[in-house]
Structure 1
Amino acid sequence: MRTTLLLLLVLLAPSLFAQAEMTEKEVNLQKQFIEAKREALLGKTDEAIGLFEGILENDPENDPALFELARLQYAAGNTAPAINALKQAYAIRPNEVYAAFLAELYLAAGRYRDGADLYATLVKRNPAEPENYLEQAAFLVRAQDTKEAIRVYEALEDEIGINAELTRRKHALYVGTGDMKRAERELAALIEAFPDQVDYRHLLAGFYRSQDEDKQAREVYEQILRMEPADVRAQLALQDAAPSAGSPSGGGDDGELMALLARTDVDLDLKIGKLLPLINQVASTGDRTLADRALTLAEELRRVHPDDAKAAAILGDLYYHSDRLTEAAEAYRATLELDDTVYPVWEQLLATLYLDNQSVDLRKYGEEALDIFPNRPSVYLYYALGEAFRGDFGEANSLLQQAQLMVSANPEAAEALKEMAAALSNMDDGSGLGDINAAQLPGGPEAPLAVYLRQLSDPSAATLLSLDHPANTNALLLELMGDVSSDAGNKEDAAGYYRRAKAAGSKSSSLAGKNS
């Protein structure tokens, strides 16, 4: 519900400028009105309120002044006086502008019954306007008068006939009150009025399924298929009612599901719905065998829907939850190439790049993410990690401070970032993990930041080398690997690690003096 504001001159015209020749009193009132408006525009709310109240002392029937006074009182947080002023204005000159604003004030004050009564008068004045009925019913629902709200919807239905939106609203109210018989009858009446609309039959079937009335749901889906044999939703619903051994939960071969995924006439979201149980199993168990099975299906989904970000994101999730981070990062990159507006994909990519020690890309995508989502503390956090792992602790701390400002009202998040700030300090001076709570560091005790800090004070060649892979661009980690190799007498290996650290954009002051 929005208040429609008329131009000041339109509001003023009936009361201040209607006469060709104005009396001295009217001229003074006009000057006072303009002065009051000027104070309001300058943000001097209290002064403007006083001036409008002065106008009303001399001209209590001045409805534009009452309207402006109501607006100012509301802006100042004085809802009750605003309502009183606007009720007077509306009584003097009933119009849609005043009514809409008065309804907004009733809503803000929680005076739902008053709002319903207001719209009841508007319905009487203009019974052909559907919006007034809908607003009246909405206020009644807020007032928890469901029975009267339904009566209003039925009155509107008498005016405009059976309507899908009205049916949905009444159906929802009946469901909310537990009257499932009437809820069912509403949908049945809609189908009777529009027997050729398959979507309305889907509503009824979905209602039956929500009530675990599988027999009735099946009958409706069979009706739909007699009308539309190619209706995929009905086909899938009937399959769900009698799952085959090859379904994801059944554990057999996935030939039937693969055939469904290969169909170009089936909606992508319906396909994802069929895959979801298997994806959730992989997420909860991390089972690689299960993940491989799911990946085969997801790759077919990607083949059939190459331009849809959701298909790429599913591949990323399956790789991620089966601990194949490099492949997960690649799939998330592909997702963003198709659609870069979904923040959770950005955050998942940044987390994956961090966990996989792809620090160069962590900085790259962190910077890109900031351009699109400048108010997300996690972006600053991951970007800070990217800078820290090349030894730029000044930039890392600056980014971290931005994240800390954003989470200052969240004690738990603020404490975690405090631990990370201490970790950056220990990285900078080479003091290792120390007393830092590794469980509060990004990714936990087995993630790159905690692992690197432990390795700083007690390096293990076997542990460090197990972390390396072709996509590793963690400059500080590579330098430490070089140090361990050098200490073991493997000068050639050490030089290779140092070169890779330089290529990864290292700003470590200690790297310059090492043989690379």
Structure 2
Amino acid sequence: MKSTFFFVLLLAFQLPTIVFAQTDKNETRTDSTAVQSAYGNAINNLKAGDFYTAQNQLEQVLSLDSTHLDANLNLMRIYYAQKNFEGAKSIALRLTSIHPDRQEHWIALADTYKALEDFTALIDVYDKLIELNPDEASYYYDKAFTLSLNGQAKEALQLYQNIEDKFGASDRLFLARNELYRQQNDRKSALSVAEAFVKSKPDVSHSHLMLANTYLDFEKPKDALKSLQGLEDKFPEDPYIPLTKADAYQALRNYSNVSKELQKAFAMDSLSINNKVRTVYNVLQGDNRKESLKIASEITSVLVDRYPQEALAQAVFGDVALQQGKEDVAYDAFLKAVDLNKKLYIVWEQLLQLEVANNKIKEAQNHGLEAINQFPDNSVILLFTGYAYLLDKQYQEARAFLEEALNKADQENQGLMIQIYSALGDTYHAVDMGAASNTAYSEALQIDSNNTYVLNNFAYYLALRKEELDKAASMSKKSNDLEPNNASYQDTYAWVLFQQGNYDEALSWIDKAVENSAEPSATLVEHKGDILFKLGKKDEAVRLWEQALKLTDGNDNDKLNSKVKNKEYVD
């Protein structure tokens, strides 16, 4: 929740913007026909977004004419966008050799050294820029900042003195010196600079804020609050005053005042909604989870009051409510968010997960189709839409969505891949594709061999198909070892033992499952009846089958009806 980030931005490097070069009107091009043709084709492909082909064509141009300015510039920008910083550096070096007096080429070279964190070489570049334009203050500042990054604090401080001698004192100079002293943990010097800044600029809020943040950096929150005293009256529209006070109260563990100050900042239009959202998630990183959630809830309430028609505000409000376990509140907020802006894919994901978890199957199907229309390549949306159809026993529809989710998924996202494979395992079994089901579960276990959900379902469906019962028993036993007292897993193990003909042990495990079930399911009760029948306890078995039939709420179950009617086990 630190509010010092706006100081750092004044010192940070600026990275290049990818803008494709146009021919300088003052330059006369004498390219050969081959060069002109290749370059023209490259520009057309750049405009069409075919960067790979354009890259090849630009490289061809430079193989014919290494001095072609626009080809060099465009290829360098492509390399930079690809994070091929070595390639970009080689072109920038070529440009500074061809046109050593052009500052923009040296700036481009500086950008590559920044990306490569080659600070020693970067210092030399700024020396050249200062030589080319000795009246540009930013080059001196960038060199000083680079010296500090390179561990040359003494030289950086001397350069700041040179800057003051040449250009005079400025806000940026106070900020730069203060930042350097803070990095060195030089409390006395950092505070001295901050106090001098306040004395020099008492009528601007950021001088006072720098002093307060310096105190906070050196774990002096009470001094920080003291330095901010009365500033809200003097600068009523500066949100960083209450934000910084909130930081101080956070350090003092005064959570009620943290919330109070944050609510003040959130009520100000001068703090953008994006900064407010960023602050919410900073709050949620706090070390006291209970208090952090409470504060986040209070400030997101202010957020939606200020921006009732902003989808982002509703989305963040819903996210915090969900983290508090307020699923109904979160659900309503997510619905409002996607109604206001259908392009928030994360909100669609959260909405669908809530609907599937709470058995709102038809809603999940409808919203899933709507979300897929917006984000056809989103594997999470495809997965939960598949779940919605799987739970509705519309297996072919589920299969289509889940297979598409598999095609679109990031293979490195192991958690997602396990969910997709396990859902496919369930679906393939339901459509009598046993071999495909086994393959899907096996793929999931290749990722996580201890995933109890996969171990349990794989074992259960093998048992239902009477396949590889020893393997099923091993997996089911493992799931119970990993997660004891899970009634569903205990029922599966009992059923595997039943299929193996080990009825006594099966009864022991089904009794555990019943004991650990608050409300035993129809399947669990039926299984116990099956086991008792095999143990010769026919009357008890029939009684349990009748009980299971009542628990089905009248749903069709021909096999169970036959057991009750004929008082005989049906395989």
Match of 1:193 in 2: 200
The answer (yes or no) to whether the contact 1:363–1:383 under 8 Å persists in 2 is yes
Q: Does 1:387 align with 2:389?
A: yes
Match of 1:82 in 2: 91
The answer (yes or no) to whether the contact 1:360–1:386 under 8 Å persists in 2 is yes
CA deviations over 1:110-166 (Å, ceiling 9, x no partner): 543333322222223323334433443454455444444455555455555544445
Aligned pair in 2 of structure 1 residues 104, 239: CA closer, same or farther (>3 Å)?
closer
Q: Does 1:215 align with 2:217?
A: no
The structural deviation recorded for 1:400 is 2.7
The answer (yes or no) to whether the contact 2:355–2:363 under 8 Å persists in 1 is yes
The structural deviation recorded for 1:232 is 8.0
The structural deviation recorded for 1:373 is 4.8
Match of 1:8 in 2: 23
TM-score between both structures, scaled by the size of structure 1? 0.62
Counterpart AA for 2:356: Y
Counterpart AA for 1:177: Q
Counterpart AA for 1:377: S
The answer (yes or no) to whether the contact 2:72–2:91 under 8 Å persists in 1 is yes
Match of 2:550 in 1: 488
Q: Does 1:101 align with 2:111?
A: no
Q: Does 1:51 align with 2:64?
A: yes
SS of match in other structure, 2:333: helix
Match of 2:428 among 425, 428, 447: 425
SS of match in other structure, 2:190: helix
Task: List runs of 5+ in structure 2 lacking aligned partners.
Answer: 1-14, 44-53, 446-450, 456-478, 496-509, 523-545, 557-571
Q: Does 1:136 align with 2:143?
A: yes
Q: C-alpha distance in 1, partners of 2:521/2:412?
A: 38
The answer (yes or no) to whether the contact 2:297–2:320 under 8 Å persists in 1 is yes
Aligned pair in 2 of structure 1 residues 359, 412: CA closer, same or farther (>3 Å)?
closer
SS of match in other structure, 1:388: helix
Match of 1:288 in 2: none
Q: C-alpha distance in 2, partners of 1:45/1:309?
A: 43
SS of match in other structure, 1:8: coil
The answer (yes or no) to whether the contact 1:384–1:397 under 8 Å persists in 2 is yes
SS of match in other structure, 1:10: coil
The answer (yes or no) to whether the contact 1:283–1:321 under 8 Å persists in 2 is no
The answer (yes or no) to whether the contact 2:38–2:61 under 8 Å persists in 1 is yes
Equivalent residues in 2 for 1:122-271 (5 A)? 122-137=129-144, 139-153=146-160, 155-158=162-165, 161-224=168-231, 227=234, 269=276
Match of 1:116 among 119, 123, 126: 123
Aligned pair in 2 of structure 1 residues 221, 46: CA closer, same or farther (>3 Å)?
closer
The answer (yes or no) to whether the contact 1:174–1:182 under 8 Å persists in 2 is yes
Match of 1:352 in 2: 354
Aligned pair in 2 of structure 1 residues 371, 221: CA closer, same or farther (>3 Å)?
farther
CA deviations over 1:207-231 (Å, ceiling 9, x no partner): 3133221332132122425746898
The answer (yes or no) to whether the contact 2:177–2:190 under 8 Å persists in 1 is yes
Q: C-alpha distance in 2, partners of 1:368/1:97?
A: 48
Tell which deviates more after alignment, 143-152 or 268-277.
Answer: 268-277
SS of match in other structure, 2:134: coil
SS of match in other structure, 2:393: coil
SS of match in other structure, 1:383: helix
Aligned pair in 2 of structure 1 residues 8, 320: CA closer, same or farther (>3 Å)?
closer
Q: C-alpha distance in 1, partners of 2:164/2:290?
A: 47
Q: C-alpha distance in 1, partners of 2:89/2:296?
A: 60
SS of match in other structure, 2:202: coil
Q: Does 1:409 align with 2:412?
A: yes
Q: C-alpha distance in 1, partners of 2:20/2:245?
A: 53
The answer (yes or no) to whether the contact 2:130–2:136 under 8 Å persists in 1 is yes
Counterpart AA for 1:419: S
Tell which deviates more after alignment, 186-195 or 394-403.
Answer: 394-403
Tell which deviates more after alignment, 377-386 or 136-145.
Answer: 136-145
Q: C-alpha distance in 2, partners of 1:347/1:334?
A: 14
Q: C-alpha distance in 1, partners of 2:212/2:349?
A: 38
Aligned pair in 2 of structure 1 residues 32, 308: CA closer, same or farther (>3 Å)?
closer
The answer (yes or no) to whether the contact 1:279–1:318 under 8 Å persists in 2 is no
Counterpart AA for 1:182: S
The structural deviation recorded for 1:100 is 3.2
Equivalent residues in 2 for 1:492-503 (5 A)? none
Equivalent residues in 2 for 1:435-450 (5 A)? 437-439=451-453
The structural deviation recorded for 1:420 is 2.5
Q: C-alpha distance in 1, partners of 2:327/2:139?
A: 55
The answer (yes or no) to whether the contact 1:222–1:234 under 8 Å persists in 2 is no
Q: C-alpha distance in 2, partners of 1:71/1:305?
A: 42
Aligned pair in 2 of structure 1 residues 220, 410: CA closer, same or farther (>3 Å)?
same
Q: C-alpha distance in 2, partners of 1:172/1:36?
A: 49
Counterpart AA for 2:424: A
Equivalent residues in 2 for 1:11-90 (5 A)? 12-13=27-28, 30-31=32-33, 33-34=35-36, 37=39, 43-44=56-57, 47-52=60-65, 64-65=67-68, 68=71, 78=87, 81-90=90-99
Match of 2:568 in 1: none
SS of match in other structure, 1:488: helix
The answer (yes or no) to whether the contact 1:384–1:399 under 8 Å persists in 2 is yes
Counterpart AA for 1:172: E
The answer (yes or no) to whether the contact 1:400–1:421 under 8 Å persists in 2 is yes
The answer (yes or no) to whether the contact 1:486–1:494 under 8 Å persists in 2 is no
The answer (yes or no) to whether the contact 2:103–2:129 under 8 Å persists in 1 is no
The structural deviation recorded for 1:309 is 5.5
Match of 1:333 in 2: 335
Aligned pair in 2 of structure 1 residues 132, 357: CA closer, same or farther (>3 Å)?
same
Aligned pair in 2 of structure 1 residues 99, 81: CA closer, same or farther (>3 Å)?
closer
CA deviations over 1:63-100 (Å, ceiling 9, x no partner): x4477468668959756753553342023xx2234333
The answer (yes or no) to whether the contact 2:147–2:156 under 8 Å persists in 1 is yes
Q: C-alpha distance in 1, partners of 2:232/2:73?
A: 58
TM-score between both structures, scaled by the size of structure 2? 0.57
The structural deviation recorded for 1:355 is 0.9
Aligned pair in 2 of structure 1 residues 48, 335: CA closer, same or farther (>3 Å)?
closer
Match of 1:502 in 2: none
Counterpart AA for 1:333: L
The structural deviation recorded for 1:422 is 0.9
Higher relative contact order (CA 8 A, sep 6+): 1
Q: C-alpha distance in 1, partners of 2:187/2:324?
A: 44
